[in-house]
Structure 1
Amino acid sequence: MQVFSGGDGSHPTLTIDARLAGLGAAAVALLLRAPFLLVVVVSAATAALLRLL
């Protein structure tokens, strides 16, 4: 998994993608005490929808 990319090599940039949003959605689902399977589905669906954009 590549986190730092871009730039000219001397100034790499932090790349944030749909996985981070999926992780955030999973964290919210866990805080709402959702079952684990639902947490996984929410995370995957969030990441998939954001990748469509």
Structure 2
Amino acid sequence: MALAKECEQDGRVLILAPESLYGLNTLSKSFEGLECMYRAGYAAAEAIPAFLKS
């Protein structure tokens, strides 16, 4: 994990990971939590084209 974060700081990789679990865990999955995580991931993915151009 440390190596991945170091590579991200150097601009060599783009890490897309949720900042919150939105109340989800392995035993409880709510529609609202899944929807929030999906929308956050979709919004985070907007950084991909700019990263690929750099």
**TM-score for both structures, normalised by structure 2:** 0.43
**Larger strand fraction of residues:** 1
Q: When the two structures are superposed, what TM-score results if normalisation uses the length of structure 1? A: 0.44
